Amino acid sequence: MYMRLSTFTFRVFVLSIFTILIGFSTPFQLHAEGATAFPIAASGNTKGEAEPTPKKAQKLMQKAKDALLAKEVEKAQRYLEKAVKVYPAFTEARVKQAEIYTDQKDYDKAIAIYSKIFKDKPIPLNEFVIHYKIGDIEFLREDYGKAIANYEKSVAVKVPERWKKVKEKVERKLADSRFIEKAMADPVPFDPIRLDDALNTRHDEYLPMLTADEEDIYFTRRIGQTHKANEDFYSSNKDTSSNWLQAISLGSPINTAQNEGAICISPDGRYLFFAAKDRSDSEGGFDIYYCVKTGSKWRGPFNLGEPVNTIYWDSQPSISANGRELYFASRRKGGKGSIDIWMSTLKGNAWTTPVNLGENINTPGKEQTPFIHPDGQTLYFSSDGHTGMGDADLYLSRRDEEGKWGKPQNLGYPINTKGNENGLIVSASGERAYFSSFNDTMGLDLYYFDLPKVVQPVHVTYVKGKVTDSATGKPLQATIELTDLETGKVIHRILSDEINGSFLVTLPVGKNYMYNVSAEEYLFYSDNFALKAPENEEPYLIDIGLMPIGEYVVEKAKDKSKEKRDIGIGETVVLKNVFFATNSFELSSTSYPELNKLIELLQDHGDLVIEISGHTDDRGDANYNLKLSTDRARSVYDYLLDKGISSMRLRYKGYGETQPIADNETEAGRAENRRTAFTIVEKTTPIAVPDRK
């Protein structure tokens, strides 16, 4: 799970793409990693035939190989020089010289040798391979213009089918070089800031995760550098001055003596998912576990089990804001490459068989560290298989309305470098990214930076607060539903914390939402958030008191006498999500989700008799306003009748402009006054309710 990350500086990586194999009296073979072998033709006689390699040259070549195994590079070069003097047409020895010069960054000498090989025998085979090799050298010394020119010459050569995979590698290098040249000429803004010492230490800290309100941070800390090093999870939260407090271990049983890997936290901070290895309940390798927070304590961890976990490596989880989609990286069978990104959906109480995110996301390479943003449609991840800066880069993909993931977009230079970038997350607002970076003095530490607008997700705000019993002030566990007013689809459905009543629900901008809070034996609370074209995207902080329905007994503290109270009769609930067009009493379809909640309430409480009331502001003629408000109340009455609610339980009345609840001098006040509400006017049968104390 541990990854060395570099973002501030380029790391020069030198990969030996080809390995030399020799046929005793035939042209030697070069192998591209994972590809079919192909030869560089050796210089031959005047008829183009390969000549046998003299035994003395062969012995010198073997001594050079032995010296290289012993890491005696200078001695190996001396043997190779002698071998070439003995047999100037000894192409294998000359290529080995060039590779050593490349490793030593003596690029001019390496290119001179490759050029001499091609000059001696300028056949298509050598043209393809030599330009590839020279292109790699120019790539290493960051002369991307020359690298592009050589790669273009290489891919222009027609090669046999058996070299197809090798040619694909050259094409990939060409695409990378073109991308790098363009990206470096047009860098994106990037000014990373190291988080303070309350979080970062002399140990390695990486893979951060944040709650939507950015008040809590979780991350992995690796203590030690040897094979005995241990990965554990730590967390911190902000004080009243918005400073991070000293990070503390999550402790047992989440942390163990074994390694805990990647961690993620749900945007509301209630669910924790992480990867762990070698636990007693493991399916094999790394498995994904989860915990649930109640009050201040975590319950769990619980192994997700099959089909999410397998005998293979399953790790790096990321949970969607609605809690119904789990993204993770896995080496399981059936993927596109060695590591792919998969997604499982929560159906009822069970996770479905994970599906591969497909070829737009996954490649024959490695796709890792997925992060699904709270907007539900932007996925950030790492890949070494897409066009990029040369190693693993950071990308984003956006999901369309049909659920298909779009072509990945590279986050750009210098966010991405020639090093290995991994493990980026983005705040709910979309404005700030958090990641880990390596430096020689501090190791891996946590950083953040302002994310360029072009790679920002949809802005997400949130509603945060707690639910209480309005009569007693005690915290309540209530159901909170967020519904897309346009489609009527429930976007989120969560429970407030049963201990403290707290909740947090994310709100992606660009939509209008109905917000409903309900609990058994309580009147529901509703609100709406107009975020389709928002003037304000700031978070909503709301404490909600739900009014109990029914009769109950309160014991007085002084004399312990009991007082009987009937809560509910006379209580009014404003239906904030019932809408009409201006000067119309025709119900908008966006009203149906709210009215259906009212129907559920009436079905659950068969004793309630309600009056539906209509109200207007004071603009216009009073008589007209009275009639309009009456017609609107009647429209709601008719809707409830059509849905099976008895007329014996319903009344309606229009009040026009006579009962304002806000100042009619302002537009905001007038909007509050234009409302539809219901009031409990009668209970046909008393309900026995347990005493509340």
| pLDDT in the model for residue 556 | 52
List of the chain residues with pLDDT < 70:
1-51, 227, 550-567, 685-693
193-455 adopts what CATH topology?
A: Neuraminidase (2.120.10)
Are 349 and 359 a contacting pair, CB within 8 Å? no
SS3 349: coil
Burial of 169 from C-beta contacts in 10 A (0-12 / 13-18 / 19+): middle
For domain 459-548, is the CATH number 1.10.8.60? no
Question: What is the 3 state secondary structure string of 135-202?
Answer: HHHHHHCCCHHHHHHHHHHHHCCCCCHHHHHHHHHHHHHHHHHHHHHHHHHCCCCCCCEECCCCCCCC
Buried b / exposed e along 319-357 (16+ C-beta atoms within 10 A) = bbbbbebbbbbbbbeebbeebbbbbbeeeeeebeebebb
CB atoms under 10 Å from CB of 562, counted, come to 10
| pLDDT in the model for residue 314 | 96
The conformation of residue 589, written as its DSSP 8-state character, comes to: G
Dihedrals phi, psi of 233, to nearest 5 degrees: -100, 140
d(CA 180, CA 389): 6
Tell me which of 2.60.40.10, 3.10.180.10, 1.20.1090.10, 3.30.1330.60 is the CATH number of domain 561-693: 3.30.1330.60
Token match 């085979």: residue?
Answer: 125
What is 244-293 written as a DSSP string?
Answer: BPPPEE--TTTS-SS-EEEEEE-TTS-EEEEEEES-TT-SSSEEEEEEEE
**Bridge partners for 530 per DSSP:** 512
Instruction: Please write down the long-range contacts of 433-438, taking CB distance under 8 Å and 24 or more positions apart.
Output: 434/208, 434/210, 434/217, 435/5, 435/7, 435/192, 435/208, 436/5, 436/205, 436/206, 436/207, 436/208, 437/5, 437/6, 437/7, 437/8, 437/192, 438/4, 438/5, 438/6
| pLDDT in the model for residue 50 | 56
pLDDT digits (tens, 9 = 90+) for 3-57: 333 333 323 222 222 222 222 222 223 333 333 334 565 544 434 445 688 999 9
Does 301 sit behind a cis peptide bond, omega within 30 degrees of 0 on the bond before it?
Answer: yes
Take residue 597 and report the two structure tokens written for it: 């909640």
Domain residue ranges in the chain: 18-185, 193-455, 459-548, 561-693
Take residue 130 and report the two structure tokens written for it: 């030599």
Q: Go through the chain and tell me how many residues it has.
A: 693
Cα 471 from chain centre: 41
Q: Which of 422, 437, 342, 434 has its CA nearest to residue 384?
A: 422
d(CA 317, CA 369): 8
- Span between the terminal Cα atoms of the chain, in Å: 51
CATH number, span 18-185: 1.25.40.10
The conformation of residue 47, written as its DSSP 8-state character, comes to: T
| pLDDT in the model for residue 208 | 94
Dihedrals phi, psi of 80, to nearest 5 degrees: -65, -40
